Structure 1
Amino acid sequence: MWTIVILAVVAYILKFLYDRGQEIEKVNQEGGMLKKYEVIINRILACNPNAKFFKVAPASVTLGLSGLGGTLIFTLTQAFGKLNIYGTMNSPIFGNHNLSWSFPEHQNQDSMFERILSDLSKFQTHTMNLDSLINEDMEPTCPPTAFKVFTKAEEEKIKASILSKNIEQFTKDEFEYIVSKCFKDEFYKGSNMLQAYKMGFPEEKERLDKIEEVLEDQYYNSDEYLNSLMAEILQDTIEHFKPSVQFSDFFYKTLKIMEEEVDISSYMKEEYEELLQYLLAQSKHEFAFSLICIYQKCYPQEAARLQEYADMLTGQ
């Protein structure tokens, strides 16, 4: 029985290798991968003057762009009657993603490229949401003089050009505009875009570092961030709660009530104090330190006393 199974597997492998060899031979007869898929390859290369080949094999071609703004690499692979295209994106703005397409091998290559371009555009717009971002009328969250101020006409010009570009093609003015917009929308989105700005224009790094320091201080002291931090503390404490003589089920119920709608300004001093003592007793030093920062903001009159706990924790 096992002999039959092994022979069947060997036969399948040999058949696959034969068919694969025939497929490669067919590609060679058509001039190789570079000739057979010349149109789509040239269109990908034409997207950016820095695009280049990374690997050329009998049945596959890898090409794309790798630079300060991240990488976008395409691998074109000849399959049985199909062209499979795999894309790898590594970007400080859009993150790390794997993309793929499959086309009949003789499909019009211009239409293949247009499909890829359309999908990438939709993907980037969805991920970054630049389209809605640049058209929203948001209140500024950055220092008034942090970034360059543009006239309405200049803004419209930037809006018209920015969506059709890759991040590494942004001008300094376009970075100035979109970074300020990103910080109004979401801190981490703005922070990622700021890193790309610094990589693209290193001469601006010193100024941008100072702006980043102010924005970080502003964000990490905001109610939005502290509420999310408090939610994390409560969730972990409830999940790993260990009752004792000092911390009873009543304290656990209090935690559950606090977690229902996290608002750091709504908790009593006694609730903060009991939670802090519990975290210290359980050696949850990282959470205890975070809670001290929140506690100090809500009850500044306790700041000096709480600082002693903070100093003790940082000394451990």
Structure 2
Amino acid sequence: MTWVLVIIAIIIFLFVSSKKEENIRVAKQGGVKHKYGTLIAYLLSSHPKMETQKLNTDSITMAVIEPGVRTEFSIRHGFESVSVFWSHHSTGYGRHRLDWTFPEFQSQEEMINEIEDDIAAYEHKLLF
């Protein structure tokens, strides 16, 4: 039993250390807001009322909150990757969610194109 706890403690320590190093590396690149600036600017411009809700070392959350509707995008930097999460909740259409994971240095324009295409296809399926 003691060995299991030691192994778990070592794994947790290694993960936390690696995550801290990754956050420092992203901070040296200007933080998530700078590193993914093109993607963030696009998402903020996707709706006139889209606003930044939360900004951390490794993530940003943007949302539009209106009566009966909430649309949210989150960008989270991982280990050599970036994940984008889209969620939409409305009284008329219910809850919906899509997510993407891209290599950290993939073109942000390519990320935007894939996100646009997937959301458009999803909305088309939902409406027709």
Q: How many equivalent pairs are there?
A: 128
Q: Structure 2 matches for 1:194-233, cutoff 5 A?
A: none
Counterpart in 2 of 1:107?
106
Whether the 8 Å contact between 1:33 and 1:58 is mirrored in structure 2 is yes
Deviation (angstroms), 1:85:
1.2
Taking the aligned partners of 1:50 and 1:39, their CA distance within structure 2 comes to: 18
Counterpart in 2 of 1:66?
65
Counterpart in 1 of 2:55?
56
Taking the aligned partners of 1:96 and 1:34, their CA distance within structure 2 comes to: 27
Whether the 8 Å contact between 1:44 and 1:64 is mirrored in structure 2 is no
Taking the aligned partners of 1:79 and 1:48, their CA distance within structure 2 comes to: 26
Q: Could you list the runs of 4 or more consecutive aligned residues of structure 1 that deviate by over 6 angstroms after TM superposition?
A: none
Question: Which one-letter code corresponds to 1:112 in the other structure?
Answer: M
Whether the 8 Å contact between 1:70 and 1:92 is mirrored in structure 2 is yes
TM-score normalised to structure 2 length? 0.95
Question: Which one-letter code corresponds to 1:50 in the other structure?
Answer: K
Whether the 8 Å contact between 1:90 and 1:96 is mirrored in structure 2 is yes
Deviation (angstroms), 1:73:
0.3
Whether the 8 Å contact between 1:94 and 1:128 is mirrored in structure 2 is no
Taking the aligned partners of 2:93 and 2:107, their CA distance within structure 1 comes to: 29
TM-score normalised to structure 1 length? 0.39
Deviation (angstroms), 1:98:
2.2
Whether the 8 Å contact between 1:75 and 1:86 is mirrored in structure 2 is yes
SS of structure 2 residue aligned to 1:123: helix
Taking the aligned partners of 1:3 and 1:47, their CA distance within structure 2 comes to: 53
Deviation (angstroms), 1:93:
3.6
SS of structure 2 residue aligned to 1:8: helix
Deviation (angstroms), 1:126:
0.3
Deviation (angstroms), 1:12:
0.1
Counterpart in 2 of 1:36?
35
Q: Cα deviations across residues 115-150 of structure 1 (Å, max 9, x unaligned)?
A: 111111111110111xxxxxxxxxxxxxxxxxxxxx
Counterpart in 1 of 2:90?
91
Counterpart in 2 of 1:121?
120
Taking the aligned partners of 1:72 and 1:48, their CA distance within structure 2 comes to: 9
Q: Structure 2 matches for 1:126-275, cutoff 5 A?
A: 126-129=125-128
Q: Structure 2 matches for 1:290-305, cutoff 5 A?
A: none
Taking the aligned partners of 2:84 and 2:60, their CA distance within structure 1 comes to: 10
Counterpart in 2 of 1:17?
16
RMSD: 1.2
SS of structure 1 residue aligned to 2:74: strand
Question: Which one-letter code corresponds to 2:89 in the other structure?
Answer: N
Question: Which one-letter code corresponds to 2:55 in the other structure?
Answer: V
Between Structure 1 and Structure 2, which shows a larger proportion of helix residues?
A: 1
SS of structure 1 residue aligned to 2:118: helix
Deviation (angstroms), 1:69:
6.1
Deviation (angstroms), 1:70:
1.3
Taking the aligned partners of 2:82 and 2:36, their CA distance within structure 1 comes to: 9
Whether the 8 Å contact between 1:51 and 1:63 is mirrored in structure 2 is yes
Q: Which runs of 5+ in 2 are unaligned?
A: none
